[in-house]
Amino acid sequence: MLCQRCGEREAEIFQTQRVGEKLYDRDLCSVCAKLDYGVFLGALLQSQAPGARELTDDEERELRRVLDEAAPAEDAPARED
């Protein structure tokens, strides 16, 4: 199965996201997953570590941008829970 983002490489990461009562599946290659989720996971881990500083405004904006891009498209096929 090919990556749903680039359509070039084999998908290795299989994500299911719940939005309300619908489930969205997203299959990504490791390269595309790192583009979006590397920023997100790094910031999330950093912000949750004991004694961690708060995210800067720039870091928080980038985190929100990545979350928005990772959200399923409005016309993405969904399945009921």
pLDDT digits (tens, 9 = 90+) for 38-62: 666 666 666 677 887 777 888 778 7
- Per the prediction, the chain carries an average pLDDT of 78
Q: What is the DSSP letter of 69?
A: H
Q: How confident is the model over 29-36, as a mean pLDDT?
A: 80
Which string of DSSP letters, residue by residue, matches 13-64? EEEEEEETTEEEEEEE-HHHHHHHHHHHHHHHHHHHSTTPPPPPHHHHHHHH
- Give the global pTM: 0.53
Query: Hey, is 70 helix, strand or coil?
Result: helix
Instruction: Determine what percent of the chain is predicted with pLDDT higher than 90.
Output: 11
Task: Kindly list the strands in the beta sheet with 22-28, ordered across the sheet, starting from the edge strand earlier in the chain.
Answer: 13-19, 22-28, 79-80
Give the pLDDT score at 32.
Answer: 84
Higher-confidence position of 14 and 59:
14
